[in-house]
């Protein structure tokens, strides 16, 4: 199993800390000759450490390229499909929003849902509300990225930190060319991603659907052309 580079430090530090806890338990429990308790607690510590390691797993995924499709940028469950007004980039215009919640058991690598040129990127400091809370899209710590496809369609997606997630990593740079389903970042320990599509995009998922990053198409955007955001 390959481990994502974002986990190296956390895995090493947590391993040292758990080893220190085990040493302390050994001296406290061994004195009372309760070897069964030491074995039980040792097993629990090892399971916990392997859970941390598995959080940073990096599965091999097939990279599909289709300019007319938007693929899921993460593993998780669809929790929102609704029309919203975006004031950050689209000047209050309506957009179809698809939100995907990532639990602590999901792979937390993020991928570009479409390929093209990065037109916009911004990091927003904020709160750490529960990721499925409606206000998490605007109040939580988050990043906003907009990619313009070769057909001129602009797709916005946000990495949103949740109650448990306290670190967002993004590999995005404005002006660079990116490829659909390449890695674009990582969110550590539970979170959410919002994708804003053209209002008339054809949705291919429903609320409650499980999606797999790079593999599940969530919408068909076709060719809507470049829009004037200031209209």
pLDDT digits (tens, 9 = 90+) for 126-172: 654 554 444 445 556 889 999 999 999 999 999 987 654 457 888 99
Residues contacting residue 193 through CB under 8 Å, at least 6 positions apart: 73, 74, 76, 99, 100, 102, 110, 157, 158, 159, 160, 187
35 tagged catalytic: no
Catalytic residue among 99, 136, 137, 191: 191
When computed from its CA atoms, the radius of gyration of the chain, rounded to whole angstroms, is 21
pLDDT at 27: 79
- What are the tens digits of pLDDT across the range 208-224? 999 999 999 999 997 65
> What's the pTM value of the predicted model, to 2 decimals?
0.78
Q: How far is Cα of residue 216 from the mean position of the Cα atoms in its chain?
A: 15
**Pick from 109, 107, 75: nearest CA to 213:** 75
What's the confidence (pLDDT) of residue 136? 46
Question: What whole-number distance in Å separates Cα of residue 69 and Cα of residue 218?
Answer: 8
Pairing state between β 142-148 and 154-161: antiparallel
Distances (CA, A) of 212 to 17, 109, 112, 117, 217: 33, 11, 13, 24, 9
Q: Are the CB atoms for 186 and 108 separated by under 8 Å?
A: yes
Q: What string of DSSP letters covers 166-230?
A: -EEEE---TT-EE-TTSEEEEEESSEEEEEEEETT-EE---TT-EE-TTT-EEEE--------TT
Q: What pLDDT does residue 126 have?
A: 60
DSSP 3-state percent helix, strand, coil across the chain (nearest 5): 20, 35, 40
């Amino acid at each position: 199993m390959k481990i994502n580079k974002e986990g190296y430090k956390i895995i090493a530090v947590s391993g040292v800390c758990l080893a220190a806890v085990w040493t302390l338990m050994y001296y406290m429990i061994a004195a009372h000759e309760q070897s069964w308790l030491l074995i039980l607690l040792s097993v629990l510590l090892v399971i916990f450490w392997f859970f941390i390691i598995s959080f940073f797993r990096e599965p091999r995924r097939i990279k599909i390229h289709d300019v007319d499709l938007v693929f899921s940028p993460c593993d998780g469950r669809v929790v929102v499909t609704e029309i919203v007004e975006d004031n950050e980039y689209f000047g209050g215009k309506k957009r179809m929003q698809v939100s995907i919640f990532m639990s602590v058991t999901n792979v937390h690598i993020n991928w570009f849902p479409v390929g093209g040129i990065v037109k916009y990127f911004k990091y927003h400091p904020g709160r750490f509300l529960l990721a499925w809370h409606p206000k998490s899209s605007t109040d939580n710590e988050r990043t906003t990225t907009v990619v313009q496809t070769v057909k001129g369609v602009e797709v916005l997606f946000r990495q949103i930190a949740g109650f448990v997630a306290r670190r967002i990593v993004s590999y995005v740079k404005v002006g660079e060319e990116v490829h659909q389903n390449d890695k674009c970042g990582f969110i550590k320990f539970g979170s959410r991603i919002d994708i804003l599509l053209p209002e008339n995009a054809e949705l291919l998922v429903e609320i409650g659907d499980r999606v797999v990053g790079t593999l599940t198409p969530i919408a068909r955007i076709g060719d809507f052309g470049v829009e004037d955001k200031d209209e």
